[in-house]
């Protein structure tokens, strides 16, 4: 689909230091950074935990469980946020002296998402006194009711948007629940758990627990690499508070103090811990961790993060890497089918504004990635469905900025209450379950509801850049400066630039990547550029000049570091 390239506006009304590179000042200004304090990623700048609704009660519940040597069971989600949140909770609670901490993560294929009544029955066999959810639970009305009726205390820790009715848990900690005044609503599930552990440690310290019981007070900052991974992998907005969490986690990995599991995952992804970026966590480590939950059981990913033995962690990381290769093959097959279907709809002129895709043999662990890929290509909300149990379909939704997908599903559910069995999620991503025979009716309502939010002009799609770079700024030094100036991520995007280049040379690498030699009209210098997974046919072979949207990249090869432009989009001029 064609894209419109627009440039970010930036303000000159800021107090950023003159010593800062002018391009970097421009980049920060375009992201509404006006003062140096807003770039402070030290732990002292982190928001305090006190205003999180329910956190005091959560601390009392956990400290009582620790003091009374009760059995604590962590109920995790099966994605990277849930896995990291679970590993963080287990490590943190054990370090604070909890005598019995176990975890349970439901299989997406057998139990589905969250604290369902079915998974509560499994949990009951483990005889927990306290059940703690991580990255789930805010919609688990029936599951919480059953757990409490069976004698378990329930602490829900979550970050998903709440529905009108809240579960009757003993305590809920969720910055997005009604009445919560915590300033940042962007914490991932792992971030919520980190805050709970910080509050618990303070309480145990004040009550002299550590000294009385001979327990060394844990350094929770030592677990921030896990927090950083879950935060980036869950694609939550990198607001000021999340940037601190991620920056501190990255600093630990770079200094060689990351947990063995993350170091091993970086190694199998061929990424250097010493130069790790948020992008490495999001695009290299996160998918490998997620592969366990998508194809098999997320317990493998959690165990990798809990492991303190480097050799064992590497063995598990290699298993996760192999699962990720398998996931990519499944994804490509599904994507080929979806793209053929989309081409047919485009020829007929019948592409809906809101897309619902379904094939009987699609893998439900991969439909979220498929929905994201088609959304990016066609610039509209997409739900990909796969078969679930008992005649049900499980759907994974991805949206565009103009459409709050969870609220859109809520509007459909209000209109026809029996159409959607269950749903939940965020503004940009959601999950739902419907009966197979309801698919066509849902398709109609979904398209109609999306049309209330989008016009045909909105479907063109846009790429927002930070403008053009002068030849003097297109150098390795600026690339390294930008690389270290993040962390970059969702809603604090890594800088993109655009410009017109003459094509001096081109060649295909590995049958699917395009390597270009480019020149600007302002300079005779040649720049290396790479366009990964790009069809080298058609206009690319003949174009003498192109408009390129790119990132500045540091290419390391055989010990040498060189500037490379990474193409995000290109079109003939």
Per-residue pLDDT of 509-535, as tens digits, reads: 877 789 999 998 777 899 999 998 775
Supply the pLDDT for residue 492.
Answer: 96
pLDDT in tens, 376-385: 999 999 999 9
pLDDT of res. 137: 95
Sheet holding 429-435, edge to edge: 355-358, 382-387, 392-398, 429-435, 420-425
The pLDDT-based confidence of 539 (bands split at 50, 70, 90) is low
pLDDT digits (tens, 9 = 90+) for 466-523: 999 999 999 999 999 999 998 999 999 999 999 999 999 988 887 778 999 999 877 7
Residue-wise pLDDT tens digits, 284-303 = 999 999 999 999 889 999 99
- Rounded Cα distance, 174 and 137, in Å: 10
Mean pLDDT within 5-12: 87
The DSSP result for 345-397, as a single string, is: HHHHT---SSEEEE-TT--TTTHHHHHHHHHHHHTS-EEEEEE-STTEEEEEE
The torsion angle over the Cα atoms of residues 534, 539, 542 and 546, rounded to 10 degrees, is -80
- pLDDT score of 424: 85
* Domain at 351-460, CATH from 3.40.190.10, 3.10.310.30, 3.30.360.10, 2.40.30.10: 3.10.310.30
Q: What's the pLDDT at 462? A: 87
Q: How far is the C-alpha of 335 from the C-alpha of 295, rounded, in Å?
A: 17
Q: Which helix (H) or strand (E) holds 118?
A: helix 117-124
Domain 466-572: top CATH class? mainly beta
Which band of pLDDT confidence, cut at 50, 70 and 90, is reported for residue 108? confident
pLDDT at 77 over 80: yes
Among 377, 393, 385, which Cα is nearest to 437's?
Answer: 393
Residues 6+ positions from 440 with CB-CB distance below 8 Å: none
Per-residue pLDDT, averaged over 229-244, amounts to 96
Same topology between domain 351-460 and domain 466-572: no
Between 530 and 573, name the one with better pLDDT: 530
Domain ranges of the chain: 47-320, 351-460, 466-572
- Residue 5 pLDDT greater than 60, yes or no: yes
Q: Which CATH class for the 47-320 domain?
A: alpha beta
Neighbours of 40 (CB within 10 A): 15
Cβ partners under 8 Å of residue 349, min gap 6: none
Grade residue 538 by pLDDT with cuts at 50, 70 and 90: low
Summary mean pLDDT of the chain: 94
* β-bridge mates for residue 526, sequence order: 519
pLDDT reading at 540 higher than 70: no
β-strands 4-7, 462-465: how paired? parallel
Q: Nearest CA to 566 among 293, 277, 245, 334?
A: 277
pLDDT of residue 239 exceeding 70, the answer is yes
Instruction: Give the whole-angstrom CA distance, residue 370 versus residue 338.
Output: 8
Q: Is the pLDDT of residue 1 over 60?
A: no
Do residues 547 and 570 touch, judged by C-beta distance below 8 A? yes
**Model pLDDT for residues 394-423, shown as the tens digit of each residue:** 999 999 988 999 999 999 999 999 999 989
Cis peptide before 398 (omega within 30 of 0): no
Tokens of 121: 């029955």
Q: Give the other-Cβ count within 10 Å of 60's Cβ.
A: 14
5 in Cβ contact with 498 (< 8 Å): yes
pLDDT over 80 (residue 12): no
pTM of the complete model: 0.93
Strand order in the sheet with 100-104: 100-104, 71-76, 130-134, 153-157, 171-173
- Return the C-alpha torsion angle 400, 404, 408, 410, nearest 10: 150
């Amino acid at each position: 689909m064609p894209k419109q390239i627009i440039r970010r506006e930036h303000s000159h009304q800021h107090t950023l230091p003159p010593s800062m590179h002018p391009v970097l000042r421009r980049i920060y200004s375009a992201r509404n950074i006006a003062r140096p304090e807003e770039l402070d990623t030290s732990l002292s700048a982190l928001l305090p935990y006190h205003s999180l609704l329910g956190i005091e009660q959560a601390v009392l519940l956990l400290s009582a469980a620790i003091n009374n040597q009760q059995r604590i069971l962590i109920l995790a989600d099966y994605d990277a946020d849930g896995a990291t949140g679970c590993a963080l909770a287990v490590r943190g609670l054990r370090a604070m002296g909890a005598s019995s901490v176990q975890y349970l993560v439901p299989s997406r294929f057998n139990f589905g998402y969250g604290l369902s009544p079915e998974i509560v029955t499994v949990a009951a066999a483990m005889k927990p006194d306290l059940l703690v959810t991580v990255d789930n639970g805010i919609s688990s009305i029936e599951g919480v009711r059953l757990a409490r009726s069976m004698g378990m205390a329930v602490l829900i820790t979550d970050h998903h948007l709440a529905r009108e009715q809240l579960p009757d848990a003993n305590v809920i900690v969720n910055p997005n629940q009604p009445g919560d005044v915590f300033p940042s609503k962007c914490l991932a599930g792992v971030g919520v758990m980190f805050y709970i552990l910080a509050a618990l440690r303070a309480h145990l310290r004040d009550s002299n627990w550590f000294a009385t019981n001979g327990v060394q007070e844990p350094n929770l900052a030592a677990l921030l690499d896990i927090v950083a991974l879950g935060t980036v992998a869950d694609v939550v907005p990198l607001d000021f508070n999340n940037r601190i969490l991620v920056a501190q986690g990255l600093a630990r990995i770079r200094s060689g103090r990351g947990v063995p599991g993350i170091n091993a995952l970086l190694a199998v992804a061929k990424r250097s811990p010493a130069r790790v970026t948020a992008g490495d966590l999001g695009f290299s480590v996160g998918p490998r961790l997620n592969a366990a939950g998508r194809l098999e059981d997320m317990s493998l990913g959690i165990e990798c993060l809990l492991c303190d033995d480097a050799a064992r962690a590497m063995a598990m990381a290699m298993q996760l890497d192999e699962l990720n290769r398998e996931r990519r093959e499944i994804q490509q097959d599904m994507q080929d089918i979806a793209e053929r279907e989309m081409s047919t709809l485009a020829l007929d002129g019948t592409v809906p504004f809101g897309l619902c895709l379904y094939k009987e043999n699609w893998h439900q662990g991969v439909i979220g990635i498929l929905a994201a890929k088609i959304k990016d290509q066609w610039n509209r909300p997409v739900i990909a469905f796969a078969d679930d149990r008992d005649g049900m379909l499980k759907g994974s939704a991805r949206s565009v900025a103009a459409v709050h997908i969870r609220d859109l599903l809520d509007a459909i559910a209000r209109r026809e209450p029996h159409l959607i069995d269950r749903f939940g999620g965020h503004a940009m991503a959601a999950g739902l379950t419907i009966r197979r025979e309801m698919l066509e009716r849902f398709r109609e309502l979904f398209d109609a509801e999306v049309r209330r939010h989008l016009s045909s002009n909105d479907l063109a799609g846009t790429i927002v850049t930070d403008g053009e770079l002068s030849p003097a700024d297109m150098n390795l030094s600026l690339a390294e400066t930008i690389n270290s100036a993040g962390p970059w991520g969702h809603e604090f995007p890594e800088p993109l630039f655009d410009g017109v280049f003459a094509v001096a040379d081109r060649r295909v690498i590995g049958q699917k990547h395009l390597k270009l030699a480019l020149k600007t009209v302002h300079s005779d210098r040649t720049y290396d550029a790479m366009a990964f997974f790009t069809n080298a046919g058609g206009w690319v072979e003949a174009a003498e000049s192109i408009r390129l949207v790119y990132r500045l990249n540091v290419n390391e090869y055989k010990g040498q570091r060189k500037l490379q432009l990474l193409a995000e989009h290109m079109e003939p001029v």
